[in-house]
Amino acid sequence: MRFAIVESGGKQYRAIEGRTIEVDRLPVEAGNKFDIERVLLMADGEDVLVGTPTVSDILVKVTVVDHIKGPKIDRFKYRPKKRIRVRGGHRQQYTRLMVDFIGRPDEDQKSEAQVENKAKADNLTKIEGIGPKVAKVLNDGGISTFEDLSHARVEELQKLLSDAGLKMMDPATWPQQAKLAAEGDWDALKKLQDKLSGGRNKPETEKKPAAKKTSKK
């Protein structure tokens, strides 16, 4: 688990990727992103970087989730013999931050590229014959969209499947199905899939000749 010790408003906080932290209110609107400048320590498993006083070349990217108020603190001022009784309260204001990324700038670029590719990916399981396991194999092989699959050669697909131990799969119709899906022609895709069985073309059954009727004497 990767985490960092950061400083904001003169206080130190433990920031963990994918979790939120609450710091003293910042003059930043909700939804905005920024980098926390002072990173005092970063730990990734057994690897620990300690700053002197800060760690260089380490980014802590955060997003402002919202601004909140802490619990109410009551205060009471009392002076005997002077009949002075003053009651008041205070609620500290905080800013909740989502920790998006902790690491070096080159790691951040790779992470953004992976997120972008994931956002562009299509659900390949809509192709008959492709399940979640096969879809993962195709994604790992660089095929993540219907367009990618429509241009893939059957031999290349078969090699990906064989290398993953899925030699029994038949990808012969996958590019044809993917082409229709990429064009958004879902009606034509459904008609094609009705003619398939598990992604394969249904075998043609030979019609048996009708039996001759014998007349009874």
Can you give the pTM of this predicted structure?
0.49
Report domain extents, the chain. Answer: 2-112, 121-199
For residues 101 and 112, the answer to whether their CB atoms sit within 8 Å is no
For the cut 60, the answer to whether the pLDDT of residue 205 exceeds it is: no
Percent above pLDDT 90 for the chain: 42
Q: Which fold has domain 121-199?
A: DNA polymerase; domain 1 (1.10.150)
* Lowest-confidence region among 70-79, 84-93, 144-153, 199-208: 199-208
The residue ranking higher by pLDDT, 163 or 214, is 163
At residue 88, the pLDDT reads: 87
Mean pLDDT of 190-214: 70
At residue 12, the pLDDT reads: 96
| 95-132 pLDDT, tens digit each | 999 999 998 887 765 555 555 555 567 889 999 999 89
At residue 95, the pLDDT reads: 96
* Lowest-confidence region among 2-16, 67-81, 167-181, 202-216: 202-216
| 13-70 pLDDT, tens digit each | 999 988 999 999 999 999 999 999 899 999 988 889 998 999 988 899 999 999 999 8
